[in-house]
Chains A and B, each alone.
Chain A
Amino acid sequence: MNTPRYEVEEEIKEISPGISEMLKQRRIKGIPEGYFETNENLLTALALLSVKKEHKYDDIPAGYFGKTENKVISKSVHKKNWVQPMYWMAAASMVMLLTALVFWPTTEDINTDENEMVWLYLEEQSHTLDLDDLVNAGLITEESFSEDEFPEDILYDSIDLSDWEDDL
């Protein structure tokens, strides 16, 4: 819960009567025009993709993959283990190639805001995309959603404040 503003002001006047009025003048500068509006779209898109990664096949119509998927599964079962990585490599190469083609810069693209590009791209292709695709396209960093950096117990996990005492 927030503390009433007047209490905060009273408190700081007790500690240092002279600086209260000066502190009120502080403003953060250097935020690009329209940053929050554009960022809202980007973050909303990332939110939907983040959820989609967990439930990737929920909104794909039944039978979408059809025989192709069955064929791959069927072959995978019978092939030796060393063959499987080749499927993945081929698929990854295809994704990278398609991503490169989609994002190949045109004069128009160069003038387009990065976040807007993401949004347009997602509008067209969101049903086939997940966060990995955005990483491959260089639009977000892998560490944005690295599981290693975000353990399951984050809800109650302590922040490492081992050097906190130095600051007090």
Chain B
Amino acid sequence: MTTQILQTKPSIDDRSLLALIRNVQTREEGFRLLIRAYQVRLYNHVRTIVGSHDDTDDVLQNTFVKIFRNIEKFEEKSSLFTWIYRIATRESLNHLQSRKSHLSIESDLISPVSEKHADGYFDEETAVNRINEAIESLPEKQKMVFHLRYYEALSYQDIADITETSVGALKASYHHAVKKIESFLREQ
């Protein structure tokens, strides 16, 4: 098992990627570069929302298949980056929705936090463990906003485009998230 640093950056710009994918001769290379550019970032984004590695793996695969199958229809009215993140976000939330209904049927006793412990999500080191727990204690969408703003360093406008909510609401959400993390850490 490895430890993954959260921040990565794509090595090719979106316009070049689209050009490669739309040319039949370079399509395979284009897809591979698209995966290489976005895989780790999307993994981190999805993992922040859904929690376990296995769930993230499923959601990531679904996300990419939907990207591949619909990229020809992509009209560039938003950035490729926003479009991809929107699909990943939607897939993650759908997954959470289905997992919640599944859990409520099978067992109400399994808490998401205990699942994440079992999955090795938390670092053994106390400080890191506490940070992870603090972030995990946030409501799902607040956690997502926090991750996109702090770890992905996205602009509020980009986050607003991905989540289709207002910049003002996002700033408030981010502020609340940071305050909740702070108070969680103080209580420990």
Q: Which of A30, A149, A154 contacts B1 (CB 8 A)?
A: A30
CA distance A2 to B164 in the complex (A): 18
Interface assignment of A145: CB less than 8 Å from any CB of chain B? yes
Contacts of A150 in B (CB 8 A): 66, 69-70
Shortest Cβ distance from residue A151 to the other chain B in the assembled complex, whole angstroms? 10
The stretch of A21-29, A64-72, A103-111 that contacts the partner chain: A21-29
Given contacts A15-B175, A47-B64, contact A168 B6 (CB under 8 A): no
Size of chain B's interface in residues, with CB distance under 8 A? 82
Shortest Cβ distance from residue A148 to the other chain B in the assembled complex, whole angstroms? 12
CA distance A12 to B34 in the complex (A): 31
Contacts of A2 in B (CB 8 A): 9, 152-155
Q: Which of B28, B75, B94, B127 contacts A149 (CB 8 A)?
A: B94
Interface assignment of B113: CB less than 8 Å from any CB of chain A? no
Return the CB mask of B60-81 against A: 1 if under 8 Å, else 0.
1110111011101111011000
Q: Which of B3, B39, B83, B153 contacts A27 (CB 8 A)?
A: B3
Q: Which of A19, A35, A47, A152 contacts B181 (CB 8 A)?
A: A19
Shortest Cβ distance from residue B140 to the other chain A in the assembled complex, whole angstroms? 7
Cβ B139 vs Cβ A26 within 8 A: no
The A-contacting residues of B in range 85-132, CB under 8 angstroms, are 86-87, 89-90, 93-94, 119-123, 125, 127-128, 130-132
Interface assignment of A33: CB less than 8 Å from any CB of chain B? yes
Given contacts A2-B153, A12-B150, A19-B185, contact A168 B172 (CB under 8 A): yes
A-B pairs under 8 A by CB, number: 184
Contacts of B173 in A (CB 8 A): 167-168
CA distance A168 to B179 in the complex (A): 12
Given contacts A144-B62, A145-B69, A155-B78, contact A51 B128 (CB under 8 A): no
Contacts of A15 in B (CB 8 A): 175, 178-179
**Known A27-B4, A36-B40, A155-B77; further 6 A-B contacts with Cβ < 8 A:** A1-B158, A23-B181, A33-B1, A48-B27, A48-B28, A159-B163
Q: Please, could you name 25 A-B residue pairs with CB atoms under 8 Å apart, sorted by A? A: A3-B155, A19-B178, A19-B181, A19-B182, A25-B125, A28-B47, A29-B120, A29-B121, A30-B121, A31-B1, A33-B1, A44-B28, A44-B35, A48-B28, A51-B68, A144-B62, A145-B69, A150-B70, A155-B77, A158-B164, A159-B89, A159-B164, A160-B93, A161-B164, A167-B140
- Which A residues lie at the B interface, using CB under 8 A? 1-5, 8, 12, 15-16, 18-19, 22-23, 25-33, 35-36, 39-40, 42-44, 46-48, 50-51, 53-54, 131, 140-141, 143-145, 149-150, 152, 154-156, 158-161, 164, 166-168
